[in-house]
Amino acid sequence: GAGVSQTPSNKVTEKGKYVELRCDPISGHTALYWYRQSLGQGPEFLIYFQGTGAADDSGLPNDRFFAVRPEGSVSTLKIQRTERGDSAVYLCASSPISGGTLDTQYFGPGTRLTVL
């Protein structure tokens, strides 16, 4: 079946602009996660959705970052007033059950964001 997809695969923007990154999870997966990965580092947790609600957004670095999942499937990560330090690969993952390390997370290929 289809895996997790993310669009766009690459996004180049200018400092101060607004960007949206989209994640299509595996159909039927209730849990959805966003991570940010900088070069040479492991993925850094940002936010976790259980259904439509954000169950844990403690990883969002500041109020410029926001994510939604209005119908419990597709999710959008929104970044306002982008800064050069936001440049990274943004990964989305989904899992079929309730979240947490007990559940296998299926990752998408990521969106590489470059802020000039």
**How is residue 56 written in tokens?**
């844990």
Of 20 and 59, the one with the shorter C-beta distance to another protein is: 59
End-to-end CA distance of the chain: 37
Residue 1 binding another protein, by CB under 8 A: no
Which C-beta is closer to another protein: that of 73 or that of 99? 99
User: Does 2 help bind another protein (rule: CB under 8 A)?
Assistant: no
Question: Rule CB under 8 A: is residue 87 a binding residue for another protein?
Answer: no
**How far apart are the C-alpha atoms of 57 and 46, rounded to whole Å?**
6
The residue range among 12-20, 39-47, 68-76, 78-86 that interacts with another protein, by the rule CB under 8 A, is 39-47
Query: What is the gyration radius of the CA atoms in the chain, in angstroms?
Result: 13
C-alpha distances in angstroms, 49 versus 16, 17, 23, 91?
27, 25, 12, 14
The answer to whether residue 25 forms part of the interface with another protein (CB under 8 A) is no
Q: Is the bond leading into 61 cis (omega within 30 degrees of zero)?
A: no
Contact residues: another protein, CB under 8 A: 4, 31, 33, 35, 40-45, 48, 55-56, 58-59, 91-93, 98-102, 104-110
